[in-house]
C-alpha cells in the first residue's frame, strides 16, 4: 500500500496546488508516495467525484528551480488527466 504523505513532504507542492487555476472547485484530498514508481499520487476531489493524478518525483524536484520546460510538462499532465472524463469517478 502506498504511504500517505503531507504537502510538506512533496517537492514543489505550491506549484502543484496552482491546479486550482484550472478549476477553482478542485481540492487536493490526499497525497500518496508510490515507492515502486518513485512518484506522488494526488487524489483530487471535485463535488462528488474523485480523480487520481500521478506525478513523477523527479519532475516535482526539478520544479524547485522554476524550470519552464518542467512547468509545461506538469501542466500537460494535469490538463490531460483532469480533462479526461474517465479520470473522475463518483464517490
| Greatest Cα-to-Cα distance within the chain, rounded to the nearest angstrom | 37
**Distant-in-sequence contacts of 68-75, Cβ < 8 A, 24+ apart:** 71/15, 74/15, 74/16
Query: What confidence tens digit (pLDDT) does each residue in 38-76 have?
Result: 999 999 998 899 999 999 999 999 988 888 899 899 989
- Which residues, in sequence order, are bridge partners of residue 33? 3, 40
Residue ranges making up the domain that contains 44: 3-90
pTM of the full predicted structure? 0.83
Domain count, the chain: 1
Amino acid at each position: 500500500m502506498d504511504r500517505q504523505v503531507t504537502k510538506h513532504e512533496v517537492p514543489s507542492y505550491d506549484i502543484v496546488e496552482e491546479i486550482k487555476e484550472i478549476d477553482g472547485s478542485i481540492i487536493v484530498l490526499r497525497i500518496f508516495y508510490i515507492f515502486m514508481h518513485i512518484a506522488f499520487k494526488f487524489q483530487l476531489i471535485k463535488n462528488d467525484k474523485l480523480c487520481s493524478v500521478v506525478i513523477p518525483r523527479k519532475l516535482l524536484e526539478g520544479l524547485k528551480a522554476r524550470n519552464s520546460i518542467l512547468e509545461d510538462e506538469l501542466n500537460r499532465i494535469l490538463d490531460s488527466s483532469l480533462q479526461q472524463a474517465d479520470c473522475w469517478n463518483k464517490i
